[in-house]
Amino acid sequence: MTETATPTKPKKPGVYVCKGCGIGEAVDADALANVAKSEFRIQTTATQDACCSDEGVAAIKADVDAGTVDGVVVAACSHRVMADRFRFNGTPVVRANLREHVAWSQPPGEEDTEMLAADQVRMAITQVQLTLPPLPSQVQEYSRTLLVLGGGITGMTAAREAVKAGHPVILVEKTDQLGGWANKWAGRMPYRPPYRDVQDSGIAKLVEAVKADKDIDVKLDTRVVKTAGQPGAFTVTLSHGGQESVVNVGAVVVATGFRPYDATKLGHLGYGASPDIVTGVELEAMLKAGGELKRKSDGKPVKHIAFVQCAGSRDPDHLPYCSSVCCGVSIKQALQITKADAKASAYIVYEELRTPGTAEEFYRQAQEAGVIFMKGKATKVDAGAMQVSYTDELLGTEVPLAGLDMIVLATGMVPNSTDPDVPVVEPEKSEAQLKGDINPFSAIPVAGYKPGGAEGPTPPAMPHLDRIPEGGPILNLQYRQGPHIPVLADGFSDSHYICFPYETRRTGIYTAGPVRRPMDMAESAEDAAGAVMKAIQAIQGSKMGVSLHPRVGDLSFPKVGHEKCTKCRRCTVECPFGAIDEDETGRPIINPARCRRCGTCMGACPVQTITFDNYNPQMVNAMIEANEIPDEFSEKPRILVLACENDAYPALDMAGINREKWSPYVRTIPVRCLGSVTLQWVSTALQKGYDGIMLMGCKSGDDYQCHFVKGSAIAKERMSKVGETLKSLALEKERVTMAEVSIADSHRVPKVLNEFAELIGGLDPNPMKGF
C-alpha cells in the first residue's frame, strides 16, 4: 500500500437532499437544504429527485472530483442500503435517514416531521465534519501458514483443506500417531447413500494422505507451550521431547476434539460394579478387536445386550446437554451385533432418539435388522442381576430387562476446550479467568477495578460455569486476559453456533469439531473446512490491515490517547476479545489484528481517550448536541435512542419499510455496539435537555445475540450505574432505559418506542432544557 497524505476531516462538505421514495411529499427538501446553508454555512447544497439515480450520483461525483466538496451528506435513505452507489474515492460519506425514519414512519407535512428531518440533517452534517477517513492499521510481517492443533479427523481434514486452498500447515498432535479417536472405531455411521449400513471409518486413508502431503508439516508427540502475537503473526512455541521450537503462523485452527464423559461418576448406572457394564467407547474397542463379542467377566458370548442412552447426559448432575452422536453410535453398535449374530437380542433403551436427516435411514435399517428399541428412562441398573430397569413410556410401567450379558452406557462428549494432560497452573486464577470471562455479566476481577458495585445487578446464576472441563490451557495464550480460549455454556468454546460458527473470542483462532459442539465424524469434517475458510480470511485480513468478522473490511481501529490515559485498565478488562494487552507500566497496548472494532474499550474509557478515526465519543457527543431542543413550553419532548447498528437499527429500518409509525420525538443515532456507549453521552444528552434516553441493543446472557458477545451485557452493567448521574441532576430514574430487541423485532420496535415516549410524556420536561 502506498503512503498517502495524512487525511483530514472534511472542511467543506456538500449536502444533497433527496426527494424520491416519498421524501419530497413528506418534508420540504428545500427547507432542509436551507438548514445546512443557514445553520452550518454549507456552501454546496442541492436537492435531487433521486440521489441514487445515475444523474444524482454523477452530480455528487462531479462536485467531489472538482474539489468543491471534501465530504458528502446524502440525506435520503438509510445507510444500510445503496452504500455502493455513494462511494466517492474514500471521501467521507454520511447518510441522513429521511426515508425509513422520516418519510415512511411519520405523517407527511407535519411540523414534527419537518423538525425530525431537520435534526437528521444536522446530525449527519455534524458527523461528516468530524469524520477522519481511516487508514489501515500498520501492516506487519505476516505468515501464510496455518497451525492446526489436533490430529484427529477434524484436524487432518482441516490440514488437507488448507493445503488445497494454497496454505501450508503445521499439524500438531500430542500423541505419537495421527487418527485420534477414529483409530479406535469399528466403522462409522453411514455418511453416503443409501445411508443404511455401517461404513469404514476411512481414517487410515486420510492419515496416509496427510503424511504424504509435503505441505503439511506433521509434528507428533508435540505440544503447544505458548502462543503470542496476533492474526497474521502468531508466534507459537512448540515442545517435542523436551526440545522447544518457535514457529510463526498466520492463524490457528483448534481441533482438539472431545473426551468421553468420565463414567466413574455414573455409579448409579452400575459403572464399575461389573466388568460387563461398559461404556460405548469401551464396547467400540471390543468390536474393533473383531471376533465374537464376549463378556469381559467370563468370556461367554454376548447374546443379550442393552444400551442405556443418555447415560449421564441431559442430566443436571452430569452433562446437562445432549451429545447428539450417542444415539447413532448405539444404533451402529447394536446393528453390528445383531447382524453378526442372528440370535442376539440388542435392546436400546432411550428417552428420545436423535436421528436427524439421513440418520433416520440408518435407524430404520437397525429396526429392520431386529434391533429392539425401548422408549423410556432407565431408572436402575443392577450389576448383580445384570438388569436394566426402565419406565416404559409407551406401556406406562416399569420394565425389567434382567439377565443381560452386557450393559452399555452411552456416555456423552466433553469438549477438550482445556487440555486434560496439562496441569492447571494457579488453579484459582485460571478458574477466575475462565469463569469471569464466560459470564457476560462479570468482568475479570483485577486490582483497582471492581465489577458490579453497590447498585450493580447481581449476576444471574449460571450453573454451567461449574462445568468447565478440567485441564490447563490448550494454546497458553500470552494475552492480558489469560491463557484460555473462552468457553460458554457447558465448557464448549464460545462462538455463536448459529450466527457465527468457528469464531472464537480470540480473533485468528478458530475452533472446529467436537470442541465447539458435540458432533459426529461427518459433521467434524465439514466443520474443519468451515474453520479453515475463516482462518484463511484472518490471514488475508491481517495482511490488508482490515477488520475481520463481523465488521469485515473496516479500516478503523481504536487509538489510545496515552497522554490522557489513567491506566485504569477498564479497556483491557472489558474487551470481549482480549485484544488489548498492557505494558509494564500498565498502559494499554492495542493489537489491531485481534480487534473486532466494536468500541467496547471506547465505551469503557472513563476519560474518553480511546477513539476511532470515524467513530469516537466526541463525534457522538456533538451529534447529540447538534439537535434542536424545543423549550419546555412547546410540549415537544425529545428522546435519544442509541441503537445498535447490527440488530436494532435494521429492525427500525424494517419497521419503516413496513410503514409502521412511531413517535416523532425520537432521535436515533446508530452505534457500533451498545458496548461502545460511554456514559458521557448519556450525561451530555441529559444536560442538553433530552427528556428520555433509550439504549436499544441485543440480548445478553448465555443465549446472547450480541455480535460482539459481551457488548450488550457490559452496557447493561454500566447503565446500572447511571442512577447516580440522574440523582446528581435531580432527574427521575425512568428517563434512562435499555431495550433488548432482535433483528426480527420490526413489529415490536415501534411499540417499544411509543411506550417509552408515552412514559416520558407523562413526566415533567427535563429542567435542563435551554440551560
Please say which residue, 61 or 304, places its beta carbon nearer to other proteins.
304
Piece of the chain touching other proteins by CB under 8 A; list 21-29, 337-345, 418-426, 741-749: 337-345
Q: Does 364 bind other proteins (CB under 8 A)?
A: yes
**What track of x and - describes contact with other proteins for positions 276 through 315 (by CB under 8 A)?**
----------------------------x-----------
Minimum CB distance to other proteins smaller for 11 or for 343: 343
Q: Smaller CB distance to other proteins: residue 287 or 371?
A: 371
Beta bridge partners of 509: 252
Q: Is 345 in the site for other proteins (CB under 8 A)?
A: yes
Cβ proximity of 172 and 219 under 8 Å: yes
Say how many CA atoms lie within 13 Å of 466 toward its Cβ. 8
Count of beta carbons in the 10 Å neighbourhood of residue 710: 28
Indicate whether 28 belongs to the interface with other proteins (CB under 8 A): no
Q: Tell me the closest approach of the beta carbon of residue 314 to other proteins, in angstroms.
A: 21
> Measured between alpha carbons, how far is residue 573 from residues 41, 84, 196, 605 in Å?
43, 37, 52, 11
Task: Tell whether residue 681 is a contact of other proteins (CB under 8 A).
Answer: no
Nearer to other proteins, 408 or 525 (CB): 408
CA nearest 363: which of 388, 327, 396? 327
635 φψ region: left (φ > 0), alpha (ψ -120 to 50), beta (else): left
718: Cβ–Cβ under 8 A, 6 or more apart, which residues?
Answer: 603, 677, 679
Binding track over 381-420 against other proteins, x by CB under 8 A: -----------x-xx---xxxxxx----------------
How far apart are CB 332 and other proteins at their closest, in Å?
A: 17
Q: Give the pairing type, strands 243-249 and 233-240.
A: antiparallel
Secondary structure (DSSP) of 622-634? HHHHHS----TTS
CA atoms in the 13 A half-sphere facing the CB of 527:
30
Q: Does 665 bind other proteins (CB under 8 A)?
A: no
Cell of 582: 498492557
339 touches other proteins by CB under 8 A: no
Q: Which of 705, 643, 633 is nearest to 677 (CA)?
A: 643
- Please report how close the Cβ of residue 394 comes to other proteins at its closest, in angstroms: 5
Pick between residue 399 and residue 544 the one whose CB is nearest to other proteins: 399
C-alpha torsion angle, residues 87, 91, 97, 103 (rounded to 10): -70
Task: Specify the residue, 355 or 720, whose C-beta has the smaller distance to other proteins.
Answer: 355
Quick check: 373 binds other proteins (CB under 8 A)? yes
Contacting residue, 1, 38, 343, 771, with other proteins by CB under 8 A: 343
Closest CA to 285 of 433, 142, 182: 182
* Grid coordinates given for 93: 460519506
Q: Does 378 bind other proteins (CB under 8 A)?
A: no
Using CB under 8 A as the binding rule, whether residue 368 contacts other proteins is answered as: yes
Under rule CB under 8 A, residue 499 binds other proteins:
no
User: Residue 367, interface with other proteins (CB under 8 A)?
Assistant: yes
Answer for which of 7, 22, 370, 530 binds other proteins (CB under 8 A) is 370
Rounded to a whole number of angstroms, the minimum distance from the CB of residue 323 to other proteins is 24
Residues 627-656 that bind other proteins (CB under 8 A): none
Residue 374 near other proteins by CB under 8 A = yes
Q: Which is nearer to other proteins, 365 or 418 (CB)?
A: 365
Confirm if 719 and 731 have CB atoms less than 8 A apart.
Answer: no
Residue 337, interface with other proteins (CB under 8 A)? Answer: no
- Least CB distance to other proteins at residue 269 (A): 19
Element (H, E) at 216: strand 216-219
User: How many helices and strands in the chain, by DSSP H and E?
Assistant: 19, 29
- Smallest separation (angstroms) from other proteins to the CB of 333: 17
- The minimum distance between CB 406 and other proteins, in angstroms, equals 12
Q: Which of 127, 7, 8, 12 is nearest to 69 (CA)?
A: 12
* CA 23 – CA 246 distance, rounded (Å): 61
Tell which positions 206-225 bind other proteins, by CB under 8 A.
none
Residues that bind other proteins (CB under 8 A): 304, 342-343, 345, 347, 364, 367-375, 392, 394-395, 399-404
